[in-house]
Amino acid sequence: MIRVALPAHLRTLARIQGEVELEVEGPVTLRSVLDALEARYPMLAGTIRAHGTGERRPMLRFFACGEDLSLESPDAALPDAVASGAEPLLIVGAIAGG
Amino acid sequence: MSRVRVLVGTKKGAFILSSDGKRKQWDVSGPLFAGWEIYHMKGSPVDPDRLYASQSSGWFGQVIQRSSDGGKTWETPGGSPVIERGRMPSGESNKFVYDVSPETGKPLRTHQWYDGTQHPWEFKRVWHLEPSLADPGIVYAGVEDAGLFRSDDGGQGWHELAGLRGHGTGPKWSPGAGGMCLHTILLDAGNPRRMYVAISAAGAFRTDDGGHSWLPINRGLRSPYIPDPNAEIGHCVHHMAMHPSRPDVLFMQKHWDVMRSDDAGASWHEVSGNLPTDFGFVVDVHAHEPETIYVVPIKSDSEHFPPDGKLRVYRSRSGGNEWEELGRGLPDSNCYVNVLRDAMAVDRLDSCGVYFGTTGGQVYASADAGDSWMAIVRDLPPVFSVEVQTLP
pLDDT value of position B106: 66
Tell me the β-bridge partners of A65.
none
The answer to whether A39 contacts B82, with C-beta atoms less than 8 Å apart, is yes
- Picking from A13, A38, A56 by the largest number of B CB atoms within 10 A of its own CB, the best residue to mutate is A13
* Amino acid code (one letter) for B216: P
- Residues in chain B, how many? 392
Boundaries of every domain in chain A: 2-93
This model of the complex carries an ipTM of 0.89
- Residue A60 with chain B: CB contacts under 8 Å: 59-60
pLDDT value of position B199: 97
pLDDT value of position B129: 98
Q: H or E segment at A10?
A: helix A8-14
- Picking from B32, B59, B124 by the largest number of A CB atoms within 10 A of its own CB, the best residue to mutate is B59
Residue-by-residue pLDDT tens, chain B, 392 positions: 799 999 999 999 999 999 999 999 999 999 999 999 999 999 999 999 999 999 999 999 999 999 999 999 999 997 766 555 444 445 678 889 898 887 665 668 899 998 889 999 999 999 999 999 999 999 999 999 999 999 999 999 999 999 999 888 999 999 988 899 999 999 999 999 999 999 999 999 999 999 999 999 999 999 998 889 999 999 999 999 999 999 999 999 999 999 999 999 999 999 999 999 999 999 999 999 999 999 999 999 999 999 999 999 999 999 999 999 999 999 999 999 999 999 999 999 999 999 999 999 999 999 999 999 999 999 999 999 999 999 99
pLDDT at residue A97 is higher than 70? no
- Residue B81 with chain A: CB contacts under 8 Å: 39-42
Cα torsion for A77, A81, A84, A89, to the nearest 10°? -70
Geometric angle at alpha carbon B9, from B5 and B11, rounded to 5°: 155
CATH of region A2-93, choose from 3.30.70.260, 3.40.50.300, 3.10.20.30, 3.30.70.1060: 3.10.20.30
pLDDT, tens digit, 9 for 90 and up, residues A43-61: 999 999 998 788 999 999 9
Whether the Cβ atoms of residue B37 and residue B18 lie closer than 8 Å to each other: no
Pairing of strands B181-187, B13-20: unpaired
Tell me the β-bridge partners of B342.
B385
List the single residue in A12, A38, A47 with the smallest CB-CB distance to B61: A47
Determine how many CB atoms are found less than 10 A away from the CB of residue B223: 21
Determine how many CB atoms are found less than 10 A away from the CB of residue A83: 19
pLDDT value of position B225: 87
